[in-house]
A = this chain, B = another copy of it.
């Protein structure tokens, strides 16, 4: 079972939706270049959906399509200058929000909370079979 968050077209920040930010971020975390086909898995969507999700980013010149080095069918998405700036901008906006959340956690417990959150998320992941097919069988 796939669980998606923030899938609406609603703009998150700077005219970028959450899904779009995810794509920018995945690219950024890999040095600004990512194979289109890698995105299917990362976003848990069909390849046709990936095509369509990437569209607006390319149209707005936040990313560029480049043919992959070793496979002329495959496409790499490359962060443009503008895309990089946008990514940082949105990150700033997001961390602003996170800071707000943090401010509401008693100072002496912040570390504990973040730590516990990590444990919880990893537990769910392991319980759901990580990337392997759903061992998360609810019958």
Give the B-binding residues of A (Cβ under 8 A).
Answer: 1-8, 10, 12-14, 93-94, 96-97, 100-106, 109, 112-113, 115-117, 119-120, 122-124, 126-127, 136, 138-139
Contact = CB atoms under 8 A, between A and B. Distances in A.
Highest count of chain B CB atoms <10 Å: which of A1, A102, A136:
A1
A16 to B, nearest CB: 11
How many copies of the shown chain assemble into the complex?
A: 2
25 contacts: A1-B10, A3-B6, A4-B8, A7-B7, A12-B138, A13-B139, A93-B139, A96-B138, A97-B127, A100-B127, A101-B120, A101-B123, A101-B127, A104-B123, A105-B119, A105-B120, A105-B123, A109-B119, A112-B112, A113-B116, A113-B119, A113-B120, A115-B116, A116-B117, A117-B120
